[in-house]
Structure 1
Amino acid sequence: MPDRCGVRGRESDPHTQVKHLVYRHYLQCWMGKILQKFPEATIVDAFAGPGIYTDGPPGSPIVVAKTFLEHTAYRNFGRLNLVCLEERPDRVEELQRQFAKLPRSPQLNISVPPGRRAKVC
């Protein structure tokens, strides 16, 4: 079956852009509460994708990482483990390239383990 989406996936649509705004706001609140109270937390993105849309906006794994790094209370946070699952090797490579563009932080542990996600249905 031909890949109609390519390495970078597809263009973002208005619904995706709104979803990421809501997600970012939720994460800002969640991180502010959880990561200041607990020494460590984990977020799993089970459908990570390449981390960027063809028209430029970041994908959800990058939204999570940037929200963490840009949070006003970041210096008071515990450690965040961000686990990104993506089965296509070409998209894993692109996702790793996108993460490499971000500033490093010892408080942010990003993991893109090889292989497939578990089937839940």
Structure 2
Amino acid sequence: AAAVFATNFLPVLQSVAEDLWRSTGVPPAWIPDLRASLLHNAVANITALGPQDALTGPAARGDVAAIARQGAAVSAWSGEAGAAYFALSALALQMAQARAQSPARTKP
């Protein structure tokens, strides 16, 4: 199951992102470069820093209002994608909280 999380869900998430970009009017010709840039930076950061320290976005900032807004918008577009957004955001918030409470970050 770990390998499924590490690799098999990535194409699913990218497909949802592509569909969502298209639905919001992003020109299809831009999508490959958007995807490549975001994936490259994410993988580089995860490789260099580990998953917890590579986390970015509203969950990393603890911005639950942004998560609620974005989740509602995604849910209006696709109920299944919205449920996935909220489930993954909950996991991301847990990661961010664990990072904030890690001994390396709480030392004076």
Query: Shared fold by TM > 0.5?
Result: no
TM-score by length of 1: 0.33
TM-score by length of 2: 0.36
Flag the structure with higher helix content. Answer: 2
